[in-house]
Each structure stands twice: as C-alpha cells, then as structure tokens.
Structure 1
Amino acid sequence: MKPSNFAMDGICTLANDSVYDQLVALINSIEANAGRDLPICIYPYDDRLDRVRQLVSERPQVQLYCDRTSLDRWDSFVEEIWATHPTAQQQWQAIGSHGIHRQGTHRRFCAFDGPFDRFLYMDADTVLLSSVEPISQALETCDWVTYDYQHKDLTHVFTVAAPQLSQIFSAEQLRRQAFCSGFYAAKRGTFSPDQLGPILGYLQQGEAAVLYPMAPDQTILNYLVMRTGLASCNLALSLSVDQATGNSITSTHFTVEAGQVYDRGHPLTYLHYIGVSSRLFRQLCAGENVDFPYREVFLHYRYLHDPTSRPRLMGRLKPYQSVPGWRRYLSALTRQLTLGKSSGTQR
C-alpha cells in the first residue's frame, strides 16, 4: 500500500558503479513502496559512474548530483576535520588505506545543499519496504530522524576510550541520539557555514579524539548532530515496543512474504544489508550461487521490473560463512545479536 501523504520532497542515496545492483534494488523498492514519481537524488561516491548515468537516463524521477562547488566544499570540509584527528592517518595506513579512509562516503553530506528541502537518506545497501510516514511525521517536530539500534554499540560511532567523550556528551545523549548513518531524515541547510566553523574549532582543541576513524562519515554525522544540539528523534526508541521493528540483516527472526519482511508480524520500514560486500551482490547477479541473509528479498527488488533477467544460480550454494571477507562480519553479527539479547530486544 502506498503512503497517503509522503511529506518528503525526495530520497537520497550514495553510489557508484560498484554498487550498481544494490542501487537498482533500492530504486525499485522506493518505486514499489513509496511511489514511482517520488524524486530520487544520487550523490556520487567517486567518478566511476557509467552504469549509474545509464540508469538515471532510464528513470525520469532519478537525478545524479553534479554540483561541483558543493562536492568540493564538503570534500574540503572533511579533509579539514580529519587533519585535526591525532591518530586517524596511522590507523588507516595500518590497514593499507591511504588518504582519507572511504572518503567518498562523506559525499552524502551534499544532501544538505541538495535539491530537497526535506529528504530521507538511504544507503545503497538498503531496500525500502513500507511507508515512511512515521518518519516524515517525526520530521515535523524534529530536525533529525533516525530508526535503528546503533546506540546499543557505540564502538562504531565514537572512540569510546577517549576521555573527552564523557566531557562532551552526556550518557543520556549517547544512549538516545547515537545512530547509524545508513538511514536518516533531515532538511536542506541543516548545517550552515556559521555552524561548521565553530565545529572545526572544537575539533582542533582536542575533541577530534572522540571520532572513530573506521566509520568516518558515521562518526562525523553523529558528532555534528549532537554537538550542534539538533532536536533528534530515533523511532526505535520513541515508538512503543509493540510498534518498533528492526531493520538489519543481523536479525535472524524476521519472516518474509512476497518480498516483504516482517518483525513479529509488523512490516519493516527498511532492510539494511549491513556488512555485505558489494562484491557479493555483483557475484550473485552474475549467477554465482553465493548466499547471505535475506538474499531472496534483494533479488526480488533487483529484478522487480525485469524478472526474465534474474540469473539462474549455478553450482553449489556457497554459505556466506565460507565466502572470503565474512569472518569479520560474523564476529560483528555475533556481537550485535548478543547485545540485542542482553537488552531484551533483539532487532
């Protein structure tokens, strides 16, 4: 069922050709569950955009963000931020990452200059599954709206061992306002140049030590939202226990029916394929029989408008446990499920 009054001006995402298959699935899911005419803006992760441009040419409601001034301004801003961090470069070099780690992820910040006054940002590794009316309603009274359980694990939000963290943010702030940067609603102009100048000053005075360099865009967004005192709302905390649903594929208790996913009978707003390498999506769409949680949901939306192109998967099923690169993800999965069980809300 389509939402009766989708108050967002559009949905934003971040992509390049490496995540083409995920991008198609996301756009198809938005068309199916929010309407075919809802505008979508893609922010370029980098310049690998040949397939993305072709996709944009085929979807009249989709645009590729090309404001070079905006892109350069945010690129420069994050370079200034990470120049203030005491150990980021050493940490990145230790894992073989040169320059700013995953610098393209910061391009999502361009949405604050972008075409939509009110927007929902969704990572390319998500699919929209139902109306986001509760999110648009929350944006009427809040500046920033999220819907996730990242607050259960702050280690991917801030450097929790940094002594400055408790001096800058209260325990209540961290418990209620920490969020995953893969899904949030906000407004154009949320962070003005007048706000960003003082932010750099705080970081240069030592607050940069709280930033977590391995999730560079997520830590900066959390810092910006909390440090500027935005009125934020996390529906995972504000909705009743009976209404709130999970969103991550790390949850194993969801049920699936005809491409829709349910948490204890309630439809998910979105599903986040967090931790799944884009390489696995490409291999799957090339016909390789690789497995990962809720694979059929992804395939449903990836080939929603072109079912005849859906690949016939060849060979024995390769469980994701045996696919290279998944060992670290399994460790994170176990950690998150343990956190969920200990809190009584495995989501």
Structure 2
Amino acid sequence: MDGICTLANDKVYDQLVALINSIEAIYGKEMPVCVYPYDDNIEQITQEIACRPHVQIYDNQESIHCWDEFVRNVWDAHPTAQQEWRKVSQEKYHRFGTHRRYGAFDGPFDRFVYMDADTLLMSPLDKIFNQLNYHDWVVYDFQYTDLSHVYQEKSPKLTEVFSVARLKKEIFCSGFYASRKNIFPLELRDSLLENLRQGEAEILYPFAPDQTIVNYMVMRSGISSCNLALHLPADEKTGCCVTSNHFLGEDNILYDKGNRLTYIHYIGLSSKLFHQVCKGENIDFPYRDIFLHYRYLHEPEKRPKFTTKPKAYNASPSLGTRILKKLGLAVGHK
C-alpha cells in the first residue's frame, strides 16, 4: 500500500490541516496519510483527524522509542554537538523529535512519500512513486547546491567518507522524499552507528539533526537514490521552495514556467507566522493565498478577512524597536 507521511504536533496545526487538505484536493480521500508525532503535544491534531478516516497518527511506541534511542546514540558519538547546542538551548538534544519521521521505515505503508508539515501538494505523485520501481530513495529538490546545511563542510573526514562527486550530487532536503518500508533494518542501523562511533560522527551537522542523519544513512548504506531535479529534462523540472518568487498561481495550483509544481515548501517560515495569520494578523508572505485556500478548504467561512494594510513577514523592526532591543527591553520575533 502506498501512502503519504508527515511529522507534526499542535504547534504546526494550521500547516498540517493545509497539507492534508491539499492532499485531499489531489486525491480525494483515496490516499492514506500517516502523521508521525513530534512529541506528546498532539491533542488538537488528534481531534482534527478524528473525522478523517484516511488519516492516522502513528502510535507504534516500540518503533518510536527505538528511533529515539538510535538518534541519542548518534549524537552521543558526535565530538562537539552537545557543546554547540548548549550555546542556544538547555536541551540535551537539539530539536529532538524531528527524527520521528523515520518511523515511516517501520510504518503502515509499503511505499511512502514523506512531506514536511510546511509543504502543500500541488500534483499527483505518480512520477515519484514510479521512480521507486527503480530506486530505493527518491527526492526532488535543489539542496545539492548547499552542502553547509547537510554536513560539516570543514571536517577533514567528510571527503574521506564521501567523495566530492557524491557530495555535489547526492545530498538532499529532508522535507520531501520517497522510500519504502524496512529500508533500514536494525542490523543496518547498528552498522551505521558503529561507523559513527569510529569517528564518522564528526561530519554530521548538528543544527539540522534529522536532515544530516538521514542523508548519512542513505549515502553510507549505499542504497540506490535518485533526485528528479538532476534527472528530469530542463524544460520539465520545477522549483519547490517558497524562496522562489516567480511561480504563478492558477486555480490554487502553482506553476513554474508553465510546469505544475509537485509541491511547495514554505521552508524558513516559522509556525508562529502561520498561526498569527490564521488568527487574523495581516502579515504577508509568499504564496499566502495558496496556503490560506488549503487551510480553509473545508471551512472557507472561517478564513480570515484582512482589512488593514499587510505587513511583510520579513519587515525590518522599527527604529524604536531596534533601540529597545539593543537596550535589552524588547524581544525580537524569531
């Protein structure tokens, strides 16, 4: 059985609703969805999906605990991660819970596409699932142009573990990928963990914890992977990120130079921003109307009606706010 997976808790409630609605807009209720819990803060999303029989929350506690332990062991092997994290947080592990998307490797679907909660589906996923007939891992993004958010670029061991050629072509964003169940059995995980403990952990980038680990797992295990951004003809491929400002919307679908996007990723925009907008704050961000359409697809009467002038999501703070912030009297938005 094929399905779509995502990772969420109540902090990303509005984004999760929009994602599920976008999937329903493409597939109706024929495509099953599995939500992997980031943590125990899932009361609101549990209520939301109670009336959606094709959507489930993953509750295999043995699998969840197994992946939790694996990730703790990975970071315990890293020479500097704990020190770096202590500079920004009191938590022992940074953004612990992001890795729980890995439960899909044990989960209910034989083949799946994982989508971050801050994405929206724009097209059927036939070409993605079709590639799983030939590869174990399929992605469609342009992360390969930026190694810095995947591995520690300055680690001398990095090019000992992976060739420069592989690093230029095989890295990917962990916000969208397709694979299948049981691709990382326990024995393989143990083998990867041993490699990390033998010194390879230093190549991992601590501030994108799930992304660096899953890239390492895929590349180090040698499974067959494919990035459609590198394989599709130039006149067929599309972008996927909210940072691209040239997409055109038609009937609430985005197009890139005439080609329909597979998905749009609102990467870099905080969950707080989406919450504020859904509460009625007139903060503008790229492709906001597309997001609001899917967020309120089944309850358009609840869609916020803005009457004030919109404020840009990335607007610079006022001079007064900057002065107060410098004096330690104001807290800036993150």
Tell me which interval the TM-score lies in, with the shorter structure as reference length: over 0.9
* Structure 2 match to 1:260: 253
Distance 1:84 1:34 in 2: 43
**SS of the residue aligned with 1:180?**
coil
Contact 1:122/1:183, CA 8 A, preserved across alignment = yes
Aligned residue for 1:110? 103
Q: Which residue of 194, 199, 202 maps to 2:195?
A: 202
**Alpha-carbon separation, structure 1, partners of 2:94 and 2:159:** 26
Please list every run of 5 or more consecutive structure 1 residues that lacks an aligned counterpart in the other structure: 1-7, 325-347
- CA–CA distance in 2 between the matches of 1:305 and 1:71? 32
Q: CA deviation at 1:316?
A: 2.7
Which structure 2 residues correspond to residues 55-66 of structure 1 after superposition, within 5 A?
Answer: 55-66=48-59
SS at 2:6's partner residue? strand
Change (3 A) 1:182 1:165: same
Unaligned runs of 5+ in 2: 318-334
Answer whether contact 1:287 1:314 (CA < 8 A) is retained: no
Residues 139-190 of structure 1 deviation map (CA, whole Å, 9 limit, x = unaligned): 1100000000000001000001101110111122112210000000000001
Shift of 1:315: 3.0
Backbone CA RMSD of aligned residues? 1.1
CA drift at 1:313: 2.2
- Which residue does 1:138 correspond to in 2? 131
Aligned 8 A contact 1:34 1:130 in 2: no
Q: CA deviation at 1:323?
A: 6.9
| Cα offset, 1:132, TM superposition | 1.2
Structure-2 separation of matches of 1:239 and 1:89: 40
Q: Equivalences for 1:1-347 in 2 at 5 Å? A: 9-322=2-315
CA drift of 1:194 comes to: 1.0
Rounded to whole Å, the distance in 2 between the matches of 1:270 and 1:302 is 15
Paired residue total: 317
Q: Is the radius of gyration larger for structure 1 or structure 2?
A: 2
Write the distance in 2 (CA, Å) between the matches of 1:97 and 1:169. 33
CA distance in 2 between partners of 1:95 and 1:197 (Å): 30
* Deviation for aligned residue 1:36: 1.7
SS across alignment from 1:185 = strand
Q: What is the CA–CA distance in structure 2 between the aligned matches of 1:107 and 1:136, rounded to whole Å? A: 22
SS of residue paired to 1:288: coil
Q: 1:115-142: per-residue Cα shift (whole Å, max 9, x none)?
A: 0010000000000001111101111100
Give the aligned residue type for 1:118: R
Q: Which amino acid aligns with 2:65?
A: D
Q: Deviations over 1:230-254 (max 9, x none)?
A: 1000000010111110000010111
Deviation at 1:34, TM superposition (A): 2.7
In 1, the alpha carbon distance for the partners of 2:89 and 2:82 equals 10
- Report the Cα offset of residue 314 of structure 1: 4.5
